[in-house]
Structure 1
Amino acid sequence: MLLYAVFSLTGLYAAVFISKKLELAPREKNLPAVIAALAGGVLGSQVPLWVSSGFGARGKSYLGALLGGFLAINLYKFFSGRGKESFGDNFAVGLALGAGFGKIGCFFNGCCGGASWGLSGLEQYPTQLIESAFNFAMAYVLYKMLRRGSGKNILFPFYTLNYLIMRFFIEFLRTEPVVLAGLTAYQLLALFFIPVFYLIIRSRKNVPSYAGA
């Protein structure tokens, strides 16, 4: 539990620190979007757990928080008339870096683990460490894209698209409850949102000023 707290706090600090360092717009201008993202993330972090295990389920889902924050920011932009602005580039690197540390915490806490394997059945796939390595790698890729100017307005959807693809396949190594057609709630979310983020990236490639999270 101590190591879980240490790595979770390290991830939070790393996410905030790097996001501030790479901030591409005035902080005051981004504050309402940040508040919307946090509110959506808190609510979204519960939804996959509720779908998988009922409303009494405890814990938080990073994927749910990611998608909840995305939806909340876009609702905020729609109602505030800021639909042509993009906020995601400010936070993508920090999100990936923070998630990398957070998943190490999950490994030491024994949560979010994989299914058993091996003759003894005691070994588990280290899915937390796989996710951690993925997120650290994505943080590096996103940072390079940002510095080279090749990821303008697409860093967040690019990260989320790749995370969804990774998460769909890694679910086969986990022990999450199956909810429909042999798939988990996370896989169903991935199948729904992968085309969404792919289309967002394509639209922003064609129209650089396109707005979205």
Structure 2
Amino acid sequence: MAQTYELKASARDRVGKGSARALRREGLIPAVIYGDKQAPLSIALNANEVSKKLHAGGFLTHVATIDVGGEKIRVLPRDYQTDPVKDFLIHVDFLRVTANSKITVDVPVHFLNQDTSVGLKRGGVLNIVRHEIELEVSPDAIPEFIEVDLKDADIGDSIHISAIKLPEGAIPTIRDRDFTIATIAGSAAAQSEAAETA
């Protein structure tokens, strides 16, 4: 289940580079809320609070509530820009979401039991094809991550999306094939050892 948090914001009347720079000097970040067939809303957020959320992880998969002058708007961060030199946040884009919304998100993949995997113990190498899986899901059901259990995976095995238990209502955006998430390949050392034995 997706985590949620709340941020306080103020509406912005002025937009453009000059006003954005003035906001950043005051410790604020310019942002925009768009979507849900409504006009885009320009806002300013506390730079420190948003940076903490960004660096806590899962920023683009956590639903937030933004309080703009008493009006609470449910949003999902869709994109952010950082300064190319100093690496601090300079802008955030938010998408309005409702309980009935269907959105596309990239969910990270976590690999379990690498230390007890049959194939990896025999000298195999984990070849990760997809570090993230793009899912179509409702905002309230965004998973933190997708788990792949490698315990029984052997050399030569491929783990496909069909073998993964996805949260209810989550559908991969790639539907035309059973795509590969990871493989267990034989290492060069294991292959030369097998050739010697043969």
> In terms of Rg, which structure is larger?
2
More strand by share: 2
What is the TM-score of this pair, normalised by structure 2? 0.22
What is the TM-score of this pair, normalised by structure 1? 0.21
- Name the structure, 1 or 2, with higher relative contact order (CA <8 Å, separation 6+): 1
More helix by share: 1
